[in-house]
C-alpha cells in the first residue's frame, strides 16, 4: 500500500523538476541586448513622438504604447484600450468638485503616475514631444529594461506534467482564453457558464458557483473600503477574485488585462492537480493546498498598533478560519480534532508556541519539515486510513449545502487581521 508520505514526496519531486526546467528555460537578456533594445526604442520614440498628437494616436501605435506602458510597469494593460483612453484623456486631476478622474478612482497608483507624467489635458497634441514627458518616459523605460530578469517560476502554482497534459484541462483552458475577453460586466461574468466556473475553480471557490448573489456582492465591493462586503469577509480568496475581475473600477476592460489570463490559468491548473491528488489520497491534497495557500497569504510580522504576539495570533486565526488549513496545522503539531471545539482564543493559545505562519512562509526548509510532519502523521491516523475519493476529509474543501449563505460568511469576519 502506498502511503500519503510517499505520494506527497513523488508529487513534490515532480513539481521541483518542473520548476527547475522552467528556470533553465528562462533567460535574461544580456547587457548588450538590453542596450540595443533601449537604443532602438529610444530612437523610435524620438522619431515618432511629434506625429502622435492625441490619445487615440498613441493607442493606435502598438510599439509606442508598449514603450510608454513598460515605463510605468503597466504592460499587462495593453489590451485595455478603453481604460487607458479614460486614464489619459481625463488626466490626473479631478474633473470637477465632485467627480474624480479615472486615474484617481483606480486602486493602483501606476495609472495615476502614467496620467500625471503624460498629462494630455495640459500638453494636448504636444504631449510626447514635451521635454518633461519624454525625459520621464525614456528614463523610466531605460530603468525598466535594465532591471529585467528571467521570470521566476511561480512555485506556489506549479503543476505536474500529468495535469499539464490532461485533455479536459487543455479544452477548458482553451475555451476560457478564447472567451474571457468577451465578458464586459459583472452580470455577463455571472452568466458566462464555463468561463465563470473556470474562474471560480481557479480561485478555489468551486463550492460557491451556486452562490451567485454573494459573488455579485463581492464583485461590486469597493476594495479600498474596509467596510465593503469583500473586505469584511475573512476569506482572502474572495478579495483575490474581486481584484482579478475588477469590473467595479475597470468596467469592460477588466477582462482585457493579461492578469485574468496567465495567472488565472496557472491557478486553475493547480486546483485541478490538487483535486486529482485528493481523489487518490486526501492527505496529499491537504498538504498541497497548505503549501500553496501559505505562499500566497498576507502574513505580516508586524502591524501598527498591535504587539508581535497579536500579529502572530491574527496570522494563526487565518488558518483556523479554513477547515482544510486548520486540519493540517492541528495534525502537524499533534493536537486532536477535538481542539476545534474549544474557544478561538484557546485554540490560538494552544498553537502559539508550535505554529508560526510567517516563519514558515519565509523559511522553505521549515515549511517542508512542517508539511512532511503532517503527511507522516496523517498516514498513520484514522483519517489517513480512510483517505480516498469518499474520505470524510473531502468535506473540508466543500460546503455541505452547495451554496453558502451571506450570514455564514460574515460570521467569520472577526477572524480578519485586527479583530477577534
Determine, yes or no, domain membership for 268.
no
Q: Does the pLDDT of residue 297 top 70, yes or no?
A: yes
Q: Are residues 337 and 398 in the same domain?
A: yes
Q: Does the pLDDT of residue 112 top 90, yes or no?
A: yes
Q: Structural domain tally of the chain?
A: 3
- In the block, cell 474633473 appears at 95
pLDDT tens digits, residue range 351-362?
999 999 999 999
Q: Are residues 206 and 256 in the same domain?
A: yes
SS3 labels along 127-189: CCCCHHHHHHHHHHHHHHHHCCCCCCCCHHHCCCHHHHCCHHHHHHHHHHHHHHHHCCCHHHH
Residue 400 pLDDT: 44
Mean pLDDT of 353-382: 92
Q: Are residues 250 and 188 in the same domain?
A: yes
Residue 186 pLDDT: 97
Domain-terminating residue out of 146, 176, 208: 146
Mean pLDDT of 301-313: 91
pLDDT tens digits, residue range 230-245?
988 878 889 999 999 9
Q: Are residues 212 and 230 in the same domain?
A: yes
Domain-terminating residue out of 263, 298, 314: 263
pLDDT tens digits, residue range 147-177?
887 766 666 678 888 899 999 999 999 999 9
Q: Does the pLDDT of residue 321 top 60, yes or no?
A: yes
Instruction: Domain of residue 334: give its range.
Output: 281-415
Mean pLDDT of 267-293: 93
Residue 50 pLDDT: 96
Find, among 235, 236, 268, 230, the residue nearest to 248 by Cα.
230
pLDDT tens digits, residue range 134-147?
999 999 999 999 98
Decide if 163 contacts 273 (C-beta within 8 A): yes
Amino acid at each position: 500500500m502506498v502511503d500519503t508520505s510517499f505520494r506527497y514526496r513523488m508529487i513534490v519531486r515532480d513539481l521541483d523538476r518542473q520548476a527547475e526546467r522552467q528556470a533553465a528555460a528562462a533567460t535574461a537578456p544580456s547587457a548588450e541586448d538590453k542596450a540595443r533594445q533601449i537604443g532602438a526604442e529610444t530612437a523610435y520614440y524620438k522619431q515618432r513622438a511629434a506625429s502622435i498628437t492625441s490619445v487615440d494616436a498613441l493607442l493606435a501605435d502598438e510599439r509606442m504604447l508598449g514603450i510608454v506602458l513598460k515605463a510605468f510597469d503597466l504592460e499587462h494593460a495593453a489590451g485595455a484600450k478603453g481604460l487607458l483612453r479614460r486614464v489619459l484623456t481625463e488626466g490626473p486631476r479631478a474633473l470637477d468638485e465632485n467627480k474624480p478622474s479615472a486615474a484617481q478612482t483606480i486602486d493602483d497608483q501606476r495609472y495615476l503616475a502614467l496620467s500625471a507624467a503624460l498629462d494630455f489635458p495640459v500638453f494636448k497634441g504636444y504631449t510626447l514631444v514635451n521635454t518633461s514627458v519624454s525625459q520621464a518616459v525614456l528614463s523610466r523605460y531605460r530603468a525598466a529594461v535594465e532591471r529585467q530578469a528571467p521570470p521566476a517560476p511561480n512555485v506556489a502554482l506549479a503543476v505536474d506534467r500529468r495535469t499539464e497534459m490532461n485533455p479536459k484541462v487543455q479544452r477548458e483552458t482553451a475555451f476560457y482564453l478564447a472567451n474571457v475577453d468577451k465578458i464586459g460586466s459583472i452580470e455577463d461574468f455571472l452568466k458566462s457558464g464555463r468561463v465563470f466556473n473556470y474562474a471560480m475553480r481557479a480561485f478555489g471557490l468551486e463550492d460557491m458557483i451556486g452562490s451567485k448573489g454573494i459573488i455579485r456582492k463581492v464583485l461590486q465591493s469597493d476594495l479600498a473600503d474596509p467596510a465593503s462586503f469583500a473586505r469584511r469577509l475573512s476569506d482572502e480568496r474572495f478579495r483575490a477574485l474581486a481584484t482579478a475581475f475588477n469590473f467595479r473600477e475597470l468596467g469592460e476592460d477588466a477582462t482585457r488585462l493579461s492578469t485574468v489570463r496567465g495567472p488565472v490559468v496557472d491557478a486553475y491548473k493547480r486546483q485541478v492537480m490538487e483535486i486529482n491528488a485528493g481523489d487518490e489520497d486526501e492527505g496529499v491534497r491537504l498538504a498541497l493546498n497548505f503549501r500553496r495557500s501559505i505562499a500566497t497569504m498576507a502574513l505580516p510580522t508586524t502591524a501598527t498598533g498591535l504587539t508581535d504576539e497579536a500579529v502572530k495570533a491574527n496570522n494563526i486565526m487565518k488558518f483556523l478560519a479554513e477547515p482544510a488549513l486548520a486540519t493540517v496545522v492541528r495534525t502537524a503539531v499533534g493536537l486532536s480534532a477535538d481542539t476545534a471545539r474549544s474557544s478561538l482564543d484557546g485554540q490560538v493559545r494552544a498553537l502559539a508556541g508550535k505554529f508560526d505562519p510567517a516563519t514558515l512562509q519565509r523559511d522553505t526548509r521549515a515549511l517542508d519539515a512542517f508539511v512532511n510532519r503532517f503527511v507522516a502523521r496523517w498516514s498513520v491516523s484514522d483519517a489517513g486510513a480512510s483517505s480516498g475519493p469518499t474520505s470524510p476529509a473531502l468535506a473540508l474543501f466543500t460546503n455541505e449545502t452547495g451554496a453558502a449563505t451571506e450570514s455564514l460568511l460574515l460570521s467569520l469576519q472577526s477572524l480578519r487581521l485586527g479583530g477577534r
